[in-house]
Each structure stands twice: as structure tokens, then as C-alpha cells.
Copies of this chain bind each other. A is one copy, B any other.
Amino acid sequence: MIVFSRKLADQYQNKLNEKFPEENFIYCDTIDEVNTYIQDTEVYVTYASDINEEFIRKAVNLKWIHVLSAGVDNLPFESIKKRGIFVTNVRGIHKIQMSEYAISMLLQVYRQEKPLIKNEENQVWDKDAVNLREITGKTMIVVGAGAIGSEVARLGKAFQMHTIGVSRSGKKVEHFDENYKISELNQVLSQADFVISVLPRTVETKDIFKYEQFKAMSNHVVFLNMGRGDAVIEEDLLKAIREGEIGHAILDVVKEEPLPKGHPFWTEENITLTPHLSGLSPEYVHRALDIFEENLQIHRRNEDSYVNQIDLTRGY
């Protein structure tokens, strides 16, 4: 029995039923409903926040968990490992929308879209009102040079940018002209017109962007964070913006989400906020199920070469 923690839209249910007529798919509405099937659940498809020690204990027939997001931080890895349950996620399906997000926001800032939209509202036709800049040919540093970072760099190259990737290993990643280690971050920051953070939440990268890092950047830099809010010390960012140490910050993630009303970020002219939407896509379910379908075929063939299999010891 393959149990989904949430109802899928009819189109997706129909597609799965058609493609796997021999399977028994159950789509639940609530965790109570999941519990009625838990003993017979062989495959569980979920957004992962509902899985704890008790769940694993009750799910005596569980063989494989497919997580429909990239975040698996909260899973009880020890119990899962002891039971020999496989875990897969949808790592990699965020790269298209997140790289579109990054480019769109750099263009919004460089092309002065906020004041232009304001003028449009006021029926003002004035081409001299704003100071347009081009993103073409600029230098982009991507901190977190994984699958998403590489896709951002690929689009950067289409805009003739010089692309610098920063990652733990510093190893060569596709679409980057240069690659450096996290430990070398401070040396490269001054070269950037754009600094883009796609860092995941790990202990090593917590608070990595401090006043020192912002000070190392050029005064006109646009800093964009679409990784995790805890990579940034927010007081330091605010200080750097107010002192003109950096030009602009674009934040899709912050430490406390939703960002509370009255937070100073909201009213800072050179900070642009979006509500953690860089990973959203109308193609999300479609792409997440593509990976599920591929893995279901692997599962039925009793292979253990799952796509996006989580290493239960490392936790990612």
C-alpha cells in the first residue's frame, strides 16, 4: 500500500493510476486518516513534518519514505536506519524556479522596477526618472555552489556574467568560472556585483554573513539570500545597509518567518523582501512526482539505486 499524507489533485492521481495500475494508492486528508492505514503502509509519500519515532514504530511494514520537499532535517534518522527504511527526497527540483527568482530579483533592482511601477500608478511617463543598470557582464558570487547554485550560474553566464562559486570543498562546479572554498569567502567577496546565498541550514554556515563579510563586499553590491535565514546576522546586515557598506539586499528568507509587522527590514529602502517563495512553482508537484515515479519503478525492481537517496548517517 502506497500512502500519501495529502490529497493530490485529480490530474496527478489519474496519471499515477494509469501508469501503475497494479498499485494501491491511498490519498489521505489528515494524519488521523494516515494512522488508520499505518500498519499496511509500505511506501509513504509526505512533506515529512509528520514523521516521528512513534510513526516509525507503528509503521511496521514501511520500506521507503519519499519526501516531497528538500528538507529532511527533522526525521528520526536513527530509528529509520535501524529499520532499514530508505528515504528519498526531491532535491534538485527547486533549481529552475529558484534561479528564475534570483535573476528576476536582480533585474527588479537593477532595472528600478519599484520606482517605475510607482510612476505607472501615478500615470507618469518619464524615462529620465530612474537610473537603469544592466546585469549583463557583471560578476556574480554564488555561496552554496550545488545544483541550485550551478543553475543560477548557468543563467548568469547567459547574461555574460563572470561567475564565482563558493562551497565547502571548493571543487569545480559546472557554469562557474572560478570555485573557492568557504574558508576563502572573505578574499573573493570584494569582486562581486552580486552575492547570492543558497546555503542550506547546516551548523557550519550559520551566521556566516556577518558585518565583516558585508564590509568586505563593494558598496554597490546586491546581496540576495534565498537559502536559509540563519546564514545571516540580521543586525549586521541592517547596519551594513544603513551605513552604505552594501547597495541592496534581497531577502526571500529571514530568521523569523513570517517576518513580523514593524520589523525594520520592511521599511528599509534598500532591502527588498519576498515571502519565502523562491522555491514555489506551478510545476512543483509534477516534478516531485516524476522523481517518485522513477523511484517507484526502482523500488519494484528491488534495486537500491534510488534517485536522491538520503544518507541516513549524514542526514542529507
Contact = CB atoms under 8 A, between A and B. Distances in A.
Contacts of A130: 277
Interface string A95-123: 01100110110011001011011011001
A133 interface: yes
A12 interface: no
A285 to B, nearest CB: 14
Nearest to A125: B258
A277 B133 CA distance: 12
A117 B120 contact: no
Interface stretch (A3-11, A33-41, A193-201, A268-276): A268-276
A124 to B, nearest CB: 8
Given A113-B113, A117-B117, A123-B266, A282 B132 contact: yes
A275 B120 CA distance: 9
Q: How many copies does the complex hold?
A: 2
Contacts of A272: 120
A225 B110 CA distance: 21
Contacts of A261: 123
B125 A275 contact: yes
A273 B100 contact: no
A282 B134 contact: yes
Contacts of A262: 123
A312 interface: no
A158 interface: yes
A281 interface: yes
Nearest to A107: B104
Nearest to A136: B96
A135 B272 CA distance: 22
A132 B266 contact: no
Contacts of A282: 131-134
Nearest to A256: B125
A111 B101 contact: yes
A140 to B, nearest CB: 14
A73 interface: no
A87 to B, nearest CB: 26
A154 interface: yes
A85 B261 CA distance: 66
A56 interface: no
A295 B110 CA distance: 32
Given A120-B266, A259-B125, A132 B275 contact: no
A128 to B, nearest CB: 9
16 contacts: A96-B134, A100-B134, A100-B135, A100-B159, A104-B108, A116-B275, A119-B275, A123-B263, A127-B276, A129-B275, A132-B280, A132-B282, A133-B282, A155-B158, A155-B159, A158-B158
